[in-house]
Amino acid sequence: MFSRRKTDLFRIEKTAQQFIKESARLNYLVFTIESCTGGLIASTLTDVPGSSNAFWGGMIAYHNNIKHTVLGVPPETLSSSGAVSPQVAQALADGGIKLMANAAQYDEYKNKRLICISTTGIAGPSGGSAEKPVGLCFVGLAIKDKPTTTKRICAPATFDRLQNKSFFAKSALDMAIEGIFGRLPVKSS
């Protein structure tokens, strides 16, 4: 079990290094809004030397009240679609872009491109249902002035909570790499 986690972490670290390198090269400022990954994406990105050239910050939006009051997720979306949904992943990423745009009004940031990665899901071991099982995650990716995309991620059923979080984080970073190179479909889930 330990070796699998160590291998998973190594893959996340390599993906984070690639994402930070390319984000800096392409002039992106990166922000994360994390629910089910609990800050793992931000933590992994800041483990990369030189991450401050691209990573701007992040927020753990675990409770629905934070999703609504700070990030603007409509309460009707939370009640009708549920916190674990593509609609909420999109709203979280869009809310993160709005926060960034407000903070990026200074001249030194005018030429920067803004990107926000969001996650919402069920890491387990409980909390799942037939419709939304443990291991389900929705990732949102917002790039300023482009349509926000979402993707449904399903971890293997044999994974525990920490493995699910690692799987979600790596999948989100893979999606973000595709996004900065413009290789994502306009709509997905």
Q: For residue 20, what are the CA distances in angstroms to 10, 40, 66, 85, 180?
A: 15, 15, 27, 27, 11
Which parts of the chain have pLDDT scores under 50?
Answer: 1-4, 6-7, 187-189
Q: For residue 122, what are the CA distances in angstroms to 23, 28, 46, 53, 129?
A: 28, 29, 24, 32, 10
pLDDT tens-digit series, residues 74-113: 999 999 999 999 999 999 999 999 999 988 887 778 889 9
Strand 28-34, strand 55-60: pairing: parallel
**Under DSSP, is residue 141 helix (H, G, I), strand (E, B) or coil?**
strand
Strand 28-34, strand 113-121: pairing: parallel
Q: How far apart are CA 72 and CA 84, in angstroms?
A: 16
Q: Model pTM?
A: 0.92
| Cβ proximity of 149 and 141 under 8 Å | yes
